[in-house]
Amino acid sequence: MKAVVLNYRGSHKQQTVKQMLVQVDGVKSKAEAAKLVGKTVTYTTQTGKKISGKISAPHGGKGVVRVIFAEKGLPGQALGAKVDVD
């Protein structure tokens, strides 16, 4: 499945770089998003490096999910980028 990185999770004063909000294509409800918990999300950088994370929970009622990246998190260039959900 494909998905789009929406934003960092957090307030305007402190954003959590390791947690991102992601909209998965075709997922429109909280119930559908809850079924994706535990799946792996992979972002590929322009240099070919792959950064992976896991879906931890749904976020809101429109099908957005929270993804935790165990490494350093995603760079700012990832906002609006396509990622793969396995």
What CATH class is the domain 2-85?
Answer: mainly beta
Instruction: Quote the CA–CA distance of 2 and 82 in Å, as a whole number.
Output: 7
CA-wise closest residue to 86 among 67, 73, 71: 67
CA dihedral 82, 76, 38, 9 (to 10 degrees): -120
- Judge if pTM exceeds 0.95: no
Stretch 7-29: mean pLDDT, rounded? Answer: 87
**H or E stretch including 65?**
strand 64-69
pLDDT the model gives residue 9: 86
Q: Is the pLDDT of residue 51 over 80?
A: yes
Stretch 29-48: mean pLDDT, rounded? Answer: 96
